[in-house]
Amino acid sequence: MEFLRNLLKDQFYVALAYMTGVLPIKRYSSGSALNMFDEFTMLNDMIFGEYFGFTEEEVQKLCEKQEVVNFELLKE
């Protein structure tokens, strides 16, 4: 967290940061080290959801191509 704070917080060279990952950035208070983020989840996103992720057809094709995991098993 300290690394991100030093890299991004109040830096003149940062106009916008787009970060992806599976861990949410915790914003406990307005005095938090990283309180400048707007957090969007892709789990129930009604605005940006259509632009991110994979379609079912794309996942089927990836499973067929890689032959590592069965699509039906993955779907469960």
Cα 35–chain centre separation: 17
Q: What is the pTM of this model?
A: 0.41
Tokens 């990836």, residue? 62
Count of all residues that appear for the chain in the document: 76
pLDDT tens profile 4-59: 778 888 888 888 777 776 556 665 556 666 667 777 776 777 787 777 778 899 99
